[in-house]
Amino acid sequence: MPSVVSATPSRGRFMLELLVAFLLTRLPFISIPFKWLESYFHELSHGIAALLTGGIVSHIQLFPNGAGLCFSQGGISMVIAYAGYFGAALWGYVIFLLATKRSSIRFTLGLLGLTVAASLVFWARDILTIAILLVLTILFLLPLKLKNSSVLNTLLRILGIMIILNAMASPMVLLGLSGQGDAVMLAQLTWIPAWIWVMTWLLFSGLMLWLCWQKVDYNKGVSK
């Protein structure tokens, strides 16, 4: 019975979750842990790109304002630099996609929590980064105490959307920065202007959000 295992939202439910996600990313103080979440997946994507292209990762560093750094050696610099915002948006979509499967929601949350915990063990070196990763681990693992799986699916879908929205908003900050950021590094490596790289990240994040919309169940009325 598909209805037992499916947690695909209706159009109305998706729009509500999108609105909640947008508001949570804009509220003072409350939005901070969710900015950390996008920053974590951003730096994690840099690290994965470094490893996949033959480099090594020394450590990652996260800051209270949502900024972050990934320290690596070797690998393909252009791929590593591009992977941050690209990877964060992709992670957001994958998390949303996994949250449309009710039967595996607890496994998904547990796996995400363990991923953050592993990053804490292997890549965290300073107190602030350790504290932030601990908060993010709890953010994924604490909802497992909830018995209602439909609530878990909703929470995780909202988290996925928030990561995409933050991945969409963060590159815009780079347009106001001079001489720093991933876009500037890519411009120096390729001679392609930084704003073009920013636009590609924005378009990709928009694509990920559109793909989330494509997952909605058009046949549902009011989602239960």
Residue 1's pLDDT band (cuts 50, 70, 90)? very low
Confirm whether pTM is higher than 0.95. Answer: no
What percentage of the chain has pLDDT greater than the value 90? 67
- By residue range, what is the domain housing residue 31? 2-214
Beta bridge partners, 73, equal: 56
Q: Fill in the amino acid letter for 3.
A: S
Q: Count other Cβ atoms within 10 Å, centred on residue 4.
A: 7
DSSP code of 146? -
Nearest in space to 97 (alpha carbons), one of 220, 214, 212 = 212
State the average pLDDT over residues 74-96.
96
Q: What is the pLDDT of residue 219?
A: 63
Residue 74 domain-assigned (yes or no): yes
What percentage of the chain has pLDDT greater than the value 70? 91
Question: Structural domain tally of the chain?
Answer: 1
pLDDT tens digits for range 56-79: 999 999 999 888 999 999 999 999
Q: What is the pLDDT of residue 207?
A: 97
Q: Specify whether the CB–CB gap between 162 and 170 falls below 8 A.
A: no
CA atoms within 13 A on the CB side of 207: 12
Residue 96 domain-assigned (yes or no): yes
Q: What is the pLDDT of residue 2?
A: 41
State the average pLDDT over residues 176-199.
84
State the average pLDDT over residues 128-148.
90
Average predicted confidence (pLDDT) for the chain: 89
Q: What is the pLDDT of residue 220?
A: 63
Helices (H), 63-214: 77-98, 105-123, 127-141, 149-174, 182-190, 194-214
- CA distances for 139 relative to 33, 99, 103, 201, angstroms: 9, 15, 20, 26
